[in-house]
Amino acid sequence: MVNITINGRKIQVKPKTTVLDAAKANGFYIPTLCYHPRLPIAGNCRLCLVDVKGSWKPLTACTTEVWEGMEIETDSPAVIETVRSSLAMMREEHPNDCMTCESNGDCEFQDLIYRYQIDAQHPVRSLLRNKFKKTNHSITEPCYSPYDNSTFSIARDMNKCVKCGRCIRACHHFQNINILGFINRAGYERVGTPMDRPMNFTKCVECGQCSQVCPVGAIAERNEVIEVLKQLDSKRKVVVVSTAPAIRVALAENFNVEPDFDFTPKMVAGLKKLGFDYVFDTNFSADLTIMEEGTELITRLNEGGKFPMFTSCCPGWINMVEKSYPELRDNLSSCKSPQQMIGAVIKTYFAKQLNLNPEDIIHVSVMPCTAKKGEAKRPEFVRKGSDGKDVPDIDYVITTRELLTLLKLKKINPSELKDAKFDSPLGIGSSAGNLFGVTGGVMEAAVRTAQIITGVENPIPLGELKAIRGLDGIKAANVPLKTKDGKDVSVRAAVVSGGANIQKFLEKIKNKELEFDFVEMMMCPGGCINGGGQPKSADPKVVLNKMQRMYTMDNQASLRLSHENPEIKEIYEKFLHEPNGHLSHELLHTHYND
């Protein structure tokens, strides 16, 4: 252990600990902006400066490791004034949009400005204003850049950017897609795209990992809160909501409930209180996906087809294939994602039960993902209304963050409400379907159901496939299966999450170093629990916690197999007739673009 002193208090920490980690672990506050616990360290915002005895200059706490006998001061008058001056310079370039900003109330820069009281009278701010007056420049001109909402998923307002570079590191470190970088020089630096083009002209996959770590509101999802609010308030149509697997665990984390507390009934109660007429579960259509995708895999294995077969439920991954790996399009499963499957059955099967036309229903999908917004807007996911006009299967997609904004606007705290249940006939989901939200979950759910699709005699016991659990980016398992008549139908399975891992994996597939039959692909590291639309968090364990909640829910569930879901049996009996049948192909399968 290393002996150090912080603000006069003697403490012991492990060697190689940074001053920032040592201070945080012992309850000392050090301001940060470019630092994020899940990203590599950059040390470029200069807000975490501390005085260290013997050093002629303050040191950045995030990049400096402790040494024996180190004496640190985090709150000397000089340190505080330096931090205040840096903040004042940033504040002078920042627009006054807080009241309507995406991140109002959840903005790290706003918190810092308030904490250090950087008002208009701060001398650095007056100095900058006078300087710009003399040179006849607008104060904000150096950082001015147009608002970019060229994709359906992400909105970028670089005027709000504080140049911390977290988005650049997220796009590089998690995804290795490198859309964002610092451009320009000499006071005109800002974050931009290659050739400064709008996002939809780049290879951006719309995953939103950049927005997840943005400390301000410079990169965010394209907000649809007001449109949804209008639908809920006007009551002109039947307003239906469906919720992705990963939402319930994110809300559980957000409302800080016990790790084994299933927040689902509270979430449903919150959605009902918001005014939704029907609350359905995307876990239902995750189960439906298992029936369709499992059947497709077995058909390919028996009749031939492209291998490995890749899952198709993650829209970030689909964007990546279409933009960067078009040669792999035929390897994708033809199944729509669970979001689009439930979208299609709500506007057909459910509409029919209520004697409604597709255009009489507004369907809001709550997703942990920004790319789901773009997926819902794909031109192939529409159907004809009674008047012959196109009606989208999903009208609005809101992220978990937007759902929290809606709840806040309506002053609803779901944890204080009485439990409520999903509505029928699309409200029952198995815990296998729920596992879709975590990396490895689609594979695990598929293996659980393989027994009925293949008529297998030796199904894998529940929870046995340990190799595909956990947060590793690339996982593999051999799934030994034999049909009743002795035929070997073993599947070589792999599970990959995170764009950087996907690229490494595909390189090995291309070089024939690896061979698989079935591969689950998720663009966000860890899967949807870590989607780009999830609440921002500075807790390094936040993804692990959500994953553990998912497995706890699975252990506690009574319905753990997709094919045993009574509503799945019912929809095949009454409507679809058989997996991969004629109607399934029309409603539940799709194609991919050049």
Q: What is the dihedral of CA 426, 427, 433, 437, to 10 degrees?
A: 110
Q: How far apart are CA 286 and CA 445, in angstroms?
A: 9
Based on the shown chain and the rule CB under 6 A, indicate whether residue 361 belongs to the binding site for ligand SF4: no
DSSP state of 572: I
Based on the shown chain and the rule CB under 6 A, indicate whether residue 177 belongs to the binding site for ligand SF4: yes
| Active site (annotated) includes residue 380 | yes
Based on the shown chain and the rule CB under 6 A, indicate whether residue 239 belongs to the binding site for ligand SF4: no
Q: Which listed range, 173-181, 257-265, 355-363, 543-551, lies at the site for ligand SF4 (CB under 6 A)? A: 173-181
User: Which C-beta is closer to ligand HC0: that of 294 or that of 437?
Assistant: 437
Query: Distances in Å between the alpha carbon of 314 and those of 306, 342, 346, 370?
Result: 19, 15, 20, 11
Please pick, from the candidates 207, 309, 489, 502, the single residue that binds ligand SF4 as defined by CB under 6 A: 207
Judged by CB under 6 A, the number of residues near ligand SF4 is: 14
Q: What are residue 491's DSSP bridge partners? A: 479
Residues 45, 83: contact at Cβ < 8 Å? no
Q: Token pair for residue 571? A: 């929809």
177 binds, among ligand SF4, ligand HC0, none (CB under 5 to 8 A by kind): ligand SF4
| Active site (annotated) includes residue 313 | yes
Based on the shown chain and the rule CB under 6 A, indicate whether residue 367 belongs to the binding site for ligand SF4: no
User: Which C-beta is closer to ligand HC0: that of 64 or that of 295?
Assistant: 295
| Active site (annotated) includes residue 528 | yes
Q: Centre a 10 Å sphere on the Cβ of residue 77 and count the other Cβ atoms it contains.
A: 9
Catalytic hit among 160, 336, 372, 373: 372
Q: Name residue 565's amino acid.
A: N
Residues 394, 367: contact at Cβ < 8 Å? no
CB of 403 to ligand HC0, least distance (A): 13
User: Which C-beta is closer to ligand SF4: that of 154 or that of 269?
Assistant: 154
User: Which C-beta is closer to ligand HC0: that of 192 or that of 498?
Assistant: 498
CB of 167 to ligand SF4, least distance (A): 6
CB of 376 to ligand HC0, least distance (A): 10
Catalytic hit among 380, 416, 457, 507: 380
Contacts of 473-482 with CB under 8 Å at 24 or more apart are: 473/497, 473/498, 473/500, 473/501, 473/525, 474/501, 474/504, 474/505, 475/439, 475/440, 476/514, 476/516, 477/443, 479/447, 479/450, 481/450, 481/454, 481/456, 482/456, 482/457, 482/458
282 binds, among ligand SF4, ligand HC0, none (CB under 5 to 8 A by kind): ligand HC0
Catalytic hit among 102, 206, 293, 520: 293
Q: Token pair for residue 60? A: 């950045």
| Active site (annotated) includes residue 372 | yes
User: Which C-beta is closer to ligand HC0: that of 31 or that of 425?
Assistant: 425
User: Which C-beta is closer to ligand SF4: that of 204 or that of 550?
Assistant: 204
Catalytic hit among 93, 296, 444, 520: 296
Q: How far apart are CA 169 and CA 403, in angstroms?
A: 27
Q: Token pair for residue 116? A: 């250090």
Based on the shown chain and the rule CB under 6 A, indicate whether residue 171 belongs to the binding site for ligand SF4: yes
Provide the CB-side half-sphere exposure for 333 (13 A, CA): 32
CB of 529 to ligand SF4, least distance (A): 17
**What spatial distance separates the first Cα and last Cα of the chain, rounded to whole Å?**
58
Q: How far apart are CA 47 and CA 106, in angstroms?
A: 19
Please pick, from the candidates 209, 243, 289, 312, the single residue that binds ligand SF4 as defined by CB under 6 A: 209
Catalytic positions, written as ranges? 293, 296, 313, 333, 372, 375, 380, 528
Contact residues toward ligand SF4 (CB under 6 A) are: 154, 170-171, 175, 177, 179-180, 204-210
